Amino acid sequence: MKMKSKEVGGAKDPPVIGQCALCLEGNQKLENSHFLPAGVYRRMIDRKHGNPNPFRFNDSGWFQDNNQIRDFLLCRACEDRLNNGGERWFLNYCWSQDQFRLASLMDEAAPATAETRIKSYHATQIGGIDRSASHISR
Ligand SMILES: [Zn+2]
């Protein structure tokens, strides 16, 4: 499937109008939404290798490229809802090459259950976790 982002979406292109895939409001100016947050794509690049780009798989096999999958999917309000409702917090606490803040919080907490290789935690019992940033129902 050819992505719309290759065809339109430049600053001089007319806006894409349609139904938002999240709030289902019609006649909305749709944003060129990332399938994964742009910050996740940046973290998947590993400059220590000759080809730093992430691996992708499809029906033909695997390959590496720096293409960020995007499409005109969400209205501005829903883009903001996702950014403010978890994406920003997630990117601050997920793994990066110099830190992994969520793992550090969990290392300091007592697990609710602990098996040989798996531990589970109650987010309510870890003070640094912003549970309000982990949902989008506002
Ligand atoms: Zn929307």
pLDDT tens readout for residues 72-106: 999 999 999 998 888 888 899 998 888 899 999 99
The whole-model pTM stands at 0.71
Q: Cα of 51 to ligand 1 centre, how many Å?
A: 37
pLDDT tens readout for residues 5-25: 445 556 678 999 999 999 999
Q: Cα of 18 to ligand 1 centre, how many Å?
A: 10
Residue 44 CB partners (closer than 8 Å, separation 6+): 53, 54
Q: Cα of 114 to ligand 1 centre, how many Å?
A: 40
Q: Cα of 110 to ligand 1 centre, how many Å?
A: 39
Q: Cα of 87 to ligand 1 centre, how many Å?
A: 16
